[in-house]
Structure 1
Amino acid sequence: MSRLAEFRALEQQLAAQLAELESLKNDDGLKREIEFEQKLRNLLGEYGFSLRNIVAILDPQSSSRRAPVVAETKGTRRARTVKVYKNPHSGEIVETKGGNHKLLKEWKAEYGADTVESWLAR
């Protein structure tokens, strides 16, 4: 597609979106929803509540249905432990902290991951 054709297509999309935006601005239902939201947020602020508090009041089981919110901690992660694998066929030893070791991957491809994991020395 030429740059000019791309420009004209984007221009038409923008015009269509602007027309849709204007029709939404004049929609009475949307105006009522915006007014309701503003009043609700003002009321929540006045009493020091958040939307989560309101949901917890209206539906106490909702917190048990979704994953708990975990507070972020700023710190370092626990260091990974060194794993030592010893190949019983060749006697080779691989020390790694992760599973991304070249020789370990070759072993897993040749002998299978379960077999190689059984070679774990420590």
Structure 2
Amino acid sequence: MSRLAEFRQLEQKLAAQLAELEVMKGSSELKAEIEFETKLRALLEKYGFSLREIINILDPQAGRRAPAAAAPQKATRKAREVKVYKNPHNGELIETKGGNHKLLKQWKAEYGAEEVESWLGK
């Protein structure tokens, strides 16, 4: 898309948004909400309260409830499978969930990682 076409498209979107904004400015619902918010903030300031304090007065449990969207549950990892290696040279068995096993490391150093992985039982 050329820069000129992109400019014109953005200009049209802006004009549409400005028109929508003008319609909202004339809305009696919006005017009522703005008036309410202004009076509420003035009242809070007059008595020295914050919005959070008012919420705690009206609903003391609000602070203790965790919003569902704010605290997603932690996903648990799938448990690692037990792998069984059998050394064909001496018949030793190793059962491990990871590669940090002392004897398994020795085997890999001695015979090579590829060969030791081929000893993995199915």
Cα distance in 2, alignment partners of residues 66 and 50 from structure 1: 21
Cα deviation for residue 66 of structure 1 reads: 3.1
The whole-number CA distance in structure 2 between the counterparts of 1:66 and 1:48 is 27
Who is 1:53 aligned against? Answer: 53
Larger Rg: 2
Amino acid at match of 2:99: Y
Q: Which stretches of structure 1, 4 residues or longer, exceed 3 Å deviation after superposition?
A: none
Paired AA for residue 60 in structure 2: P
Q: How far is the alpha carbon of 1:5 from its aligned partner? A: 0.7
Aligned-residue sequence identity (percent) comes to: 64
| Mapped partners of 1:5, 1:55: distance in 2 | 50
How far 1:111 moved relative to its partner? 1.8
Aligned match of 2:21: 21
The correspondence for 1:111, drawn from 76, 99, 105, is 99
TM-score normalised according to structure 1 size = 0.55
Question: CA–CA distance in 2 between the matches of 1:54 and 1:6?
Answer: 48
The whole-number CA distance in structure 2 between the counterparts of 1:35 and 1:26 is: 14
Instruction: Report the equivalent of 2:32.
Output: 32
Distance 1:58 1:26 in 2: 33
C-alpha offsets along residues 18-60 of structure 1, whole Å, 9 cap, x if unaligned?
0000001100000000000000000000000000001001110
Q: Distance in 2 between the 1:28 and 1:66 partners?
A: 35
Q: CA deviation at 1:13?
A: 0.4
DSSP 3-state at the match of 1:37: helix
Structure 1: how far apart are the matches of 2:48 and 2:16? 41
CA RMSD of aligned residues (A): 2.0
Q: How does 1:81-100 map to 2 (within 5 A)?
A: none
TM-score by length of 2: 0.55
- 2:64 aligns to what SS in structure 1? helix
Q: Which runs of 5+ in 2 are unaligned?
A: 68-97, 103-122
- Count of residue pairs brought into register by the alignment: 72
